[in-house]
Amino acid sequence: GAKYKIFQWAAGVAREYAKVSQDNFRRTGKASVPFALGAKHKVADALVFAKIRDAFGGRLRACISGSAALAPDIGYFFAG
């Protein structure tokens, strides 16, 4: 339904935000993103990411993956 589509959109925004931010940091030393991407990220945060943070108690800062390598898309999702 609509919630699934919104989540999928937000996950895509998170992946793009993390990739662009990390690429810019590697090139310039500053983790910046274009204005439009930052605006999309703020909307995605209000609709989806804030709820995920709240579900984890609002204090989650890092995740650790043990045993197997973390899929890049999952890493970008949590980084974004």
pTM of structure? 0.82
CB count in 10 Å sphere of residue 77: 19
Distance CA 56, CA 17 (A): 21
Distance CA 65, CA 57 (A): 19
What is the rounded average pLDDT for all residues in the chain? 91
Residue 70 is predicted with a pLDDT of 84
8 A C-beta contact, residue 19 and residue 76: yes
At 79, the pLDDT band (50, 70, 90 cuts) reads confident
At 38, the pLDDT band (50, 70, 90 cuts) reads very high
Residue 44 is predicted with a pLDDT of 97
70 or 13: which leads in pLDDT: 13
